[in-house]
Amino acid sequence: MSSDKKKEYCLFRIWDVFVLVLVLALLAVTLYFVISPKRGQMAEVYRDGELIRTLSLDVDTEIILEDLTIVVEDGSIFVKYADCPDKICERRGRIYNAGESIICLPNKIIIKVVGKGEVEAIT
């Protein structure tokens, strides 16, 4: 990096408009494809990308894995207890719409709500 070239830093320049419009347009387009809140019927639990459990949201249950306690109640699913320090998945709360997910990064666990017989669009 040449130190003789003095750079001016500003709060706002006209180019920022282009950047913001571009970014927001991209986000709006992707958001359009993502939002379709439909109540899910099933929940899938993945560990390391492998499907380990499939649960029906109609049946209230409590599943105790070695690091997570997952509860199905009133058509929703949530993490009741996680042994990881950040507790992000606990704070995520209840999810019930198809496409919603709880992700626990430290334990590499993903809980995903899916509709019945729905074809997985993203994979």
Residues that bind another protein (CB under 8 A): 1, 3, 7-13, 15-16, 19-20, 23-24, 27, 30-31, 34, 46, 48-49, 84-86, 88-89, 91-93, 99, 101, 103, 105-106, 108, 110, 112, 120, 122-123
Q: How far is the CB of 80 from another protein (least distance, A)?
A: 16
Q: Cα separation of 42 and 79, whole Å? A: 15
The residue among 60 and 91 lying less far from another protein, judged by its C-beta, is: 91
Minimum CB distance to another protein smaller for 20 or for 64: 20
Least gap, CB of 16 to another protein (angstroms): 4
Helical (H) or strand (E) element with 51: strand 50-56
Alpha-carbon distance of 60 to 43, in angstroms, equals 12
Q: CA–CA distance from 76 to each of 27, 29, 49, 122 (Å)?
A: 28, 29, 22, 22
Distance of CA 15 to the CA centre of its chain: 32
Minimum distance from residue 82 beta carbon to another protein (Å)? 11
